[in-house]
Amino acid sequence: MNKSRLNNYFHSLFPIPEEIVKRITAPFCHFTLDKNLTLIEKNTISTKTYFLEEGYMRSYILNEENEEITTNIYVAPCFVNDFLSFFKKQPTKVIYQTITDCSFWETSLENVQKNFHTIPEFREFSRLLFVINYSKLNDRLIEMASQKAETRYLNLLKEQPLVIQHFPLKIIASYLGITDSTLSRIRKEISKI
């Protein structure tokens, strides 16, 4: 399989020599999952990290009423994992599900640890990736606490315009922290503008 999209992702954060990227990605294995399948199940320990090459995913939890609450959406290309479970070897509290047919590359914790210890560029890449993910999580937390639902929806449209085409509205509403009917009302009001 062609690893160009995976390799290009490593180059996207900062310049890494091609031979180093090929060394990092050499142990990655390719696989696909059909839509609406689980990548990582709740209460399991994530032993692999995944690069989403093509497709759309979400992570979600079940609340006390057993309703699905979407915690994150993933648009390729990106890494997808429960990093606390992966690095701390603890059971995940979150379920990771494909929304469309998806294409992945995966590698093990052992390969990641080996790269940390032997490839300085990989350490820098990983550090930047954690900072970027923390920043996104922090921004989302602030948005949920400080912005109206309509503003959050408009920001999602601006930042991820294809999400509306690939995610059911129920999932988008859950991700935005609103009900389906509130999202329908917001979409109706926006369409009048």
- The 10s digit of each residue's pLDDT in 15-35 is 899 999 999 999 999 999 999
Write down the H helix ranges in 14-103.
18-25, 83-88
Span 133-176, pLDDT tens digits: 899 999 999 999 999 999 999 999 999 888 888 999 999 999 99
> Where is 47: in which H helix or E strand?
none
Q: Where are the domains of the chain?
A: 4-143, 147-193
User: Which run of H or of E encompasses 152?
Assistant: helix 149-159
Q: Tell whether the torsion through CA atoms of 29, 41, 98 and 187 is positive or negative.
A: negative
Are 155 and 147 within 8 A, CB to CB? yes
First-to-last CA distance in the chain? 47
Cα separation, 30 vs 9, whole angstroms: 15
Task: Say how far apart CA 159 and CA 182 lie, in whole Å.
Answer: 21
69 CB contacts (<8 Å, ≥6 apart)? Answer: 60, 61, 62, 63, 174
- CA–CA separation, 118 vs 83, rounded Å? 21
Place of tokens 């142990």: 27
Tokens of 75: 């648009």
CB count in 10 Å sphere of residue 96:
23
pTM exceeds cut of 0.85: yes
Residue 192 pLDDT class (50, 70, 90 cuts): confident
Q: Does domain 4-143 have CATH number 2.60.120.10?
A: yes
